[in-house]
Amino acid sequence: MVKGEFLYEGKAKKVFRTDDPDLLLIEFKDDATALDGVKKDRLPDKGILNNHLSAIFFEMLEKNGIETHFEKTISERGMLVNALEIIPVEVIVRNIAAGSISKRLAIPEGTTLKKTVLEFSLKNDELHDPMINHYHIYALDLASAEEMAEIEKVALKVNDIMIPYLKDKGITLVDFKLEFGRHKGKILLGDEISPDTCRFWDSNSGEKLDKDRFRRDLGGVVEAYREVLRRLEGGEGPAVEGKS
């Protein structure tokens, strides 16, 4: 596979064409950002870990009937994916109150929600990814009603698959963000699935094993990501000590 023209760079990834027009190359960076890009740093090996973690999650979901853009990893930082026409709607799936929903709705962090909540935001960095609803989505022609029905169904199915999968690893799935795109008439799950886009808590201690360690200056960000990878690869035991 030949690495081709550089297409664009996001907060955590670079995207390139390949010699196959249906495939793109994604390279994961070590950059970390938070607070709408106000807080920035480079965390050595974060990109390597997120590439590996995303591949594990995508492969697991594919085995459970979820169609994704993932094809294969080709280097420690790179993966081949199907080229998608990205639907600019981010889907947030919430099982436990944390982050912005706690602030917006005055729900104490850690409160288990009586029903899984789906939220939507416009994928637009300049506007700081504002929350939107179905009326906005249809008025702005971001996706059709049929596409949104499919996206919601898949997002909830992903949640149903990931909760027990992670529970078996001693990890509680608090919430996570998904992105979708169109590919040859199908809606595919895209982007990444990693501690950058999910909130993972240790099931026993409640210790954060995700990007909140960076957002909240808890330290040990890369160590936490590495701990998630260790557990997904079959490691047992509690999260590593001394990260806070």
Q: Tell me the average pLDDT across 138-163.
A: 98
The verdict on 76 and 194 lying in the same domain is no
- Of 23, 51, 82, which residue is a domain's last? 82
Contact 227, 242 (CB under 8 A): no
- Of 36, 61, 82, which residue is a domain's last? 82
The verdict on 46 and 144 lying in the same domain is no
Q: Tell me the average pLDDT across 37-51.
A: 93
241, pLDDT greater than 80: no
Query: In angstroms, rounded to a whole number, what is the distance separating the alpha carbons of residues 194 and 54?
Result: 6
Contact 21, 83 (CB under 8 A): yes
The verdict on 101 and 201 lying in the same domain is yes
Residue 37: the pLDDT is 67
Residue 171: the pLDDT is 98
Backbone angles phi, psi at 6, to 5 degrees: -70, 130
Residue 63: the pLDDT is 98
Q: Is residue 101, in this structure, part of any structural domain at all?
A: yes
Q: Which structural domain range is residue 103 located in?
A: 86-220
User: Would you place residue 161 in the very low, low, confident or very high pLDDT band (cuts 50, 70, 90)?
Assistant: very high
Please state, for a pLDDT cut of 90, what percent of the chain lies above it.
93
Residue 72: the pLDDT is 98
- Overall domain count for the chain: 2
The verdict on 108 and 53 lying in the same domain is no
The verdict on 148 and 67 lying in the same domain is no
The verdict on 40 and 66 lying in the same domain is yes
**CATH number, position 150:** 3.30.470.20
The verdict on 26 and 57 lying in the same domain is yes
Query: In angstroms, rounded to a whole number, what is the distance separating the alpha carbons of residues 23 and 36?
Result: 30
187, pLDDT greater than 70: yes
Q: Is residue 153, in this structure, part of any structural domain at all?
A: yes
Query: In angstroms, rounded to a whole number, what is the distance separating the alpha carbons of residues 2 and 139?
Result: 40
Query: In angstroms, rounded to a whole number, what is the distance separating the alpha carbons of residues 78 and 16?
Result: 10
The verdict on 63 and 134 lying in the same domain is no
156, pLDDT greater than 60: yes
Contact 139, 110 (CB under 8 A): no
Contact 35, 129 (CB under 8 A): no
The verdict on 103 and 56 lying in the same domain is no
Q: Is residue 194, in this structure, part of any structural domain at all?
A: yes
Q: Is residue 227, in this structure, part of any structural domain at all?
A: no
The verdict on 101 and 69 lying in the same domain is no
The verdict on 19 and 100 lying in the same domain is no
The verdict on 31 and 127 lying in the same domain is no
SS3 for the chain is: CCEEEEEEECCCEEEEEECCCCEEEEEECCEEEECCCCEEEECCCHHHHHHHHHHHHHHHHHHCCCCECEEEECCCCEEEEECCEECCEEEEEEEECCCHHHHHHCCCCCCEEEEEEEEEEECCHHHCCCEECHHHHHHCCCCCHHHHHHHHHHHHHHHHHHHHHHHCCCEEEEEEEECEEEECCEEEECCCCCCCCEEEEECCCCCECCCHHHHCCCCCHHHHHHHHHHHHCCCCCCCCCCCC
Q: Is residue 226, in this structure, part of any structural domain at all?
A: no
Q: Tell me the average pLDDT across 172-190.
A: 98
Residues near 112 by Cβ (< 8 Å), separated by ≥ 6?
95, 96, 97
Q: Tell me the average pLDDT across 144-165.
A: 98
Query: In angstroms, rounded to a whole number, what is the distance separating the alpha carbons of residues 114 and 133?
Result: 21
